[in-house]
């Protein structure tokens, strides 16, 4: 089967805890690289939730990340470049991502932030469980190699976006 575009789209992987600034960073990158599209695991999970009928216990029996990672590949196979905003909250998710996207043009960026800042961001947002990000710190970055690591608290979002763009 032929792909729509024989050249694979680039994938910028933004991996970090909840409230580490992944969505903010993705939006900043897209301002600078309008040919890229933002693909968020949070929005994808919302899409899956809409499909399910939780009250009737009609659930999709496959983890959301399974479909999410394959959709990333689908976009790349079609020549579409994406900024992926995700977090590897378990080893299975991390492994699945790299199994599915082996050989794809992926730039791996780790987003880091001090614990106290993550908690403050959770409080300010008001839509997160306080302490969620702190509980993810030792999981999200485990067994990860990054082309670039960024402290989203230390530098301005535009400066950080340009660091990422300079690696493309």
The CATH superfamily assigned to 11-167 is P-loop containing nucleotide triphosphate hydrolases (3.40.50.300)
Q: What span, in angstroms and rounded, lies between the C-alpha atoms of 116 and 165? A: 28
pLDDT at 151: 92
pLDDT at 129: 66
> Over the chain (168 residues), what is each successive 10-residue block's mean pLDDT?
68 90 94 96 76 68 85 97 94 96 97 79 66 72 93 89 94
**Predicted local confidence at residue 1, as pLDDT:** 37
The whole model's pTM is what? Answer: 0.86
pLDDT, position 124: 72
DSSP character string of 13-73: EEEE-TTSSHHHHHHHHHHH-TTEEEEEHHHHHHHHHHHSBGGGTB--SS-HHHHHHHHHH
pLDDT of res. 83: 98
């Amino acid at each position: 089967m032929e792909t729509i575009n024989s050249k694979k789209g680039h994938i910028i992987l933004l991996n970090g805890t909840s409230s580490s600034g992944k969505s903010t960073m993705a939006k900043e990158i897209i301002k600078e690289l309008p040919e890229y599209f933002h693909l968020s695991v949070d929005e994808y999970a919302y899409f899956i939730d809409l499909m399910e009928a939780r009250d009737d216990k009609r659930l999709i029996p496959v983890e959301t990340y399974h479909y999410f990672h394959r959709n990333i590949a689908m976009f790349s196979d079609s020549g579409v470049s994406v900024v992926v905003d995700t977090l590897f909250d378990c080893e299975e998710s991390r492994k699945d991502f790299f199994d599915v996207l082996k050989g794809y043009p992926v730039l791996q960026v780790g987003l880091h932030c001090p614990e106290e800042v993550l908690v403050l961001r959770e409080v300010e947002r008001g839509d997160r469980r306080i302490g969620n990000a702190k509980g993810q710190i030792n999981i999200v970055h485990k067994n990860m190699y990054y082309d670039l690591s960024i402290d989203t608290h230390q530098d301005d979002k535009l400066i950080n976006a340009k660091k990422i763009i300079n690696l493309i």
